[in-house]
Chains A and B, each alone.
Chain A
């Protein structure tokens, strides 16, 4: 797939995304039935869950493209990894924020050290470190290799953290508040499904856009380097000619 194809797909996807977002807003805030135990606040669920899902999808993309980068050493996997990591970090941030806002009216507290919340927070931290290693690496090429290793280890860590917190909770005396599982009726499930699809499409749109940006940036850097080298060669050649003439 060339850049042109990707750009074309992107320009088609953008209106789809916007229409989808409007549809989600309508379905989540208006069409979806009232949840009887939590009240209207439960409507946050229809955006909170898809955002968390997108975060997970994005980090899965990071995981796969990190492995492919280490095996194939083709730059495009690195571009994909960094794009997906950035989007995944954004989605995790939004998921945490919307979760905190949802937690306050439903459980009465902002935060609980529940397995899902804890592993999301740690996932957030791992990928902050991932982007930092990229930014602070001593050489550009090394940074992507180091980051790929973190992308793999970090992804493997998330389920381990989840289960360790599950066990930790079962033993700890529990506060009564706890994110329960909602009973989804048919129409609620439909809203959730629609919303998840829309958010996933939006995620892929943003990733591909970020991918093209990363591609252009690194290709430009290569061009700049060759230009500078050419310039230097020309200067050296000129000096040599001058010297020869002086003799």
Chain B
């Protein structure tokens, strides 16, 4: 219970900071939509190939937007030196990591929830397929687990803006594969048999990387 309270304190702190500074959600949202627009011109989808192209377009947009958003979350802490405050606070490292991960999940999730309807309108899909929510949640959890630890790690390097995607993308490939495939099944309304498989993959990834990252986080931010 104590753990949940600590996690919530961190998350609430991040939400307040974001509500006052408006640094993450709004710019990242605009970026995500811009990626969709650019893909429209790059691929020039026709009504016949949209169901094949659309999942890829959606997830490329989310991946790029997600990495930006995750990066901001720690850059802000680092710039203002508030990371020291976080480390001094009487909160376990695991709680700190979980809180950071959840707030990243919330911010990226917020971006995604707005981007999906825009995407559906632009690419003429069903406005918001309910199953997509599950996929979004699972994939974004895995993404923000890996993202939170690597963002905390990348602020210790000199070229952090470029180091973060270099570190993250190879590791989150399983998430991207599963998310794209699951989205494809939803958008093409093909039989849901394989769906379970992809959701299992996402859950497995989330669990494995949440556990590893929560333990390893302690070593990333010590001092």
Judged by CB atoms under 8 Å, the answer to whether A and B touch is yes
Contacts between the two chains (Cβ within 8 Å), count: 93
Q: Are A122 and B173 in contact (CB under 8 A)?
A: yes
B216 within 8 A of A: yes
A-contact bits for B160-185, CB 8 A (1 contact / 0 none) = 00010011011101100110010000
Q: Are A156 and B156 in contact (CB under 8 A)?
A: no
B-contact bits for A137-176, CB 8 A (1 contact / 0 none) = 1110011011011101110110011011101100100000
A70 within 8 A of B: yes
Contacts of A163 in B (CB 8 A): 174, 201
B19 within 8 A of A: no
Contacts of B106 in A (CB 8 A): none
Complex CA–CA separation, A129 to B157 (angstroms): 11
Given A70-B219, A168-B177, A136 and B170 touching (CB < 8 A)? no
Complex CA–CA separation, A150 to B149 (angstroms): 10
Complex CA–CA separation, A141 to B166 (angstroms): 21
Given A129-B170, A153-B213, A157-B171, A167 and B163 touching (CB < 8 A)? no
Measured CB to CB, the closest approach of chain B to A209, in angstroms, equals 28
B110 within 8 A of A: no
B127 within 8 A of A: no
Considering the complex, give the chain A residue whose CB is closest to the CB of B176: A164
Q: Are B167 and A133 in contact (CB under 8 A)?
A: yes
B220 within 8 A of A: yes
Interface residues of A (CB under 8 A from B): 70, 122-123, 125-126, 128-129, 132-133, 136-139, 142-143, 145-146, 148-150, 152-154, 156-157, 160-161, 163-165, 167-168, 171
Q: Which 5 A-B pairs have the closest CB atoms?
A: A164-B174, A125-B170, A122-B170, A136-B157, A129-B166
Interface residues of B (CB under 8 A from A): 146, 149, 153, 156-159, 163, 166-167, 169-171, 173-174, 177-178, 181, 194, 197-198, 201, 204-205, 208-209, 212-213, 216, 219-220, 222-223
